[in-house]
Chains A and B, each alone.
Chain A
Amino acid sequence: MRLVVARCTVEYEGRLAARLEEAVRLIMRKADGSLAIHADGGAYKPLNWMSPPNFLEESEGRWVVSNEAGERLVITLHEVVSDVSHDLGEDPGLWKDGVEAHLQELLANDPSVLGEDYRLIRREYPTAIGPVDLLVRDADGNVVAVEVKRRGETTGVEQLARYLEFLNKTETLAPVCGLLVAQQINPGARVLAEERGIRCLLVDYSRLKGDAPEELRLF
């Protein structure tokens, strides 16, 4: 990662012509070949940029970045304030908290969250139209197909309804009920779920993964 802070002017030619008048800016050249020119504002959005693959031709006081599409970015450096490079190493990637897979795993570990005496049959139960997140049995031994979402929307209800239609054709499982589990469920999804005979359940992700303060309970 090379970071250059410089007083510069920038001219772009390609899909259109654009010019950045002389000012101090951050020029960011990443290891993947991308180049972005930032002002001290505009959040994450660069003023101008060139995606990889591209070719950087660097000379005294002048960078020319071009690509095969014929786009050309000419940066004239009037004064270089700072020019540093860092090896950031391999990035472990973004871990999104609350992803459905983790929610699914937590529920699989403790199916009683879904209902009293619920027992896990299988996680990612395979069907010809895709895997059902969780297949569980309720206290009476009935099979329940569980769709786990971070946010419950009508698409999730429809997806579960398709699974139910398929599973209820399987004699060894039928009758199979549906349960939509999510951290939030929008009103439309609730209406649709009720129409399809699918129960909705809100879960507290923080509490499931134990981030919430430990609560003392009577039972």
Chain B
Amino acid sequence: MKFRCERDSLTNAIGRASRAVAKSTHSLIHQGLLLQLDGDSLTVTGSDIDLTIQARVEVTGFESGEVLVPSRLFVDVIRHLPLGAVDVTLAESNVVIRDARERSEFLVRTMNSADFVSVPEVETAPISVEVSDFVAGLKRVIPAARKDDSRPILTGVLVATKGSSLRLVATDSYRLGLCDLDGIDMGVDEEGVIVPSRALEEITKVMGDVDKLFVKLDDNTAVFEFDDLTVTTRLINGDFPSYENLIPTDHPNVLIANRVEMLDAIRRVRLVGDTETPIRINIQSDSVTLSSGTDRGEAKEVIENIEYKGEELQIAFNASYLNDGIEVARSDAIVLLTADALKPALLKGDGDTGFLYLLMPVRVV
């Protein structure tokens, strides 16, 4: 295998593919990047079994072939080469990397590509999806997905059809993000599929500037294809929790507040706390007071420019979860709907009908 490629083009391809490479040292083979050259087309594949990212880049190919290289080292070497063309040549059990002016030369030991994971194929017809709405929706629900694997089903995002919309739902059992995307059909039924949030998050990061993506789904696998990129992920098997009956339809208390003012106040109040410190919210007819405190100190912020209909209320939330919910509400004003201090609160953007964020309060003494 031998090819020449501009450093930045190659860096871009290997950088994106390497995002799927296992971060830890669980298995050496998953620390590799597979380079496959066919004519002038180089495909770079990174995978940790569950998630595979394949990036394609046009190169000047001299000799087709494939090789598995250690991801981190290869990425580091290419990234640090001088600007310009890069020559990559397989020489026995090494890959020789040179800048075109032959001032830099690296020899990187290769790995056994026979052991590399095979990327699952999905035979179904690809469905075209508008990228901008889909990615915006993902960014709004992904923060609510569970990060640890103690309940694997909750590490995924439910992707289902709801009427004429594509519904995205994620929850870690303390909060739930729901986004309905009008007019998007991804070929899933009402029951939907559960896609690992990690894969979807990577899509939002690596997709680049494209208008459309193509989705292929079967029972176990989802494939997302862009111009020069393919993201393949296993689906999470199991039943997503019944969430619809958790969404309250009647809230006696309605608060409307400026989104940026709320975010600024939360950011300041959090300074005295740690990750677990809740934010207390005291809502009165003409103001909202946010407060927090630990052994280190106490903080209080008053927001007066609000609209509130309901009883005076003291309620507390996990600060990060509250911040996440307000962050992804896109309107200038946020609406916080509450029943009492212990029932789920509903957060959404004022006038934004396609998104809601359900947030469990925190019990405080």
Contact = CB atoms under 8 A, between A and B. Distances in A.
A218 B360 contact: yes
B358 A190 contact: no
B150 A218 contact: no
A108 B231 CA distance: 40
Contact of B24 (A113, A187, A201): A187
A7 B358 CA distance: 70
Nearest to B276: A213
Interface in B11-29: 24-27
A187 B27 CA distance: 11
Interface secondary structure of B, over-half rule: loop
A217 B174 contact: yes
Given A194-B27, A202-B148, A217 B363 contact: no
A152 to B, nearest CB: 14
A194 B29 CA distance: 13
Nearest to B246: A218
B24 A218 contact: no
A189 to B, nearest CB: 11
Nearest to A193: B26
Task: Specify which of A187, A214, A219 lies most central, judged by the most chain B CB atoms within 10 Å of its CB.
Answer: A219
Nearest to A139: B238
Contact of A113 (B150, B153, B241, B362): B150
Interface secondary structure of A, over-half rule: loop
B173 A116 contact: no
Interface in B320-365: 342, 344, 358, 360-363
A65 B144 CA distance: 69
Nearest to B359: A218
A60 interface: no
A191 B173 CA distance: 30
Given A187-B24, A187-B25, A191-B26, A216 B150 contact: no
Contact of A219 (B173, B361, B362): B173
Given A139-B238, A202-B148, A217 B173 contact: yes
A218 B360 CA distance: 6
A213 B363 contact: yes
B26 A219 contact: no
Contacts of B101: none
A90 interface: no
Interface string B138-181: 00000000001111110000000000000000010111100000
A219 B25 contact: no
Contacts of A201: 149-150
Contacts of B242: 219
Nearest to B360: A216
20 contacts: A113-B150, A116-B153, A187-B24, A187-B25, A190-B24, A191-B25, A194-B26, A202-B150, A215-B360, A216-B361, A216-B362, A217-B360, A218-B175, A218-B176, A218-B241, A218-B243, A218-B344, A218-B358, A219-B173, A219-B242
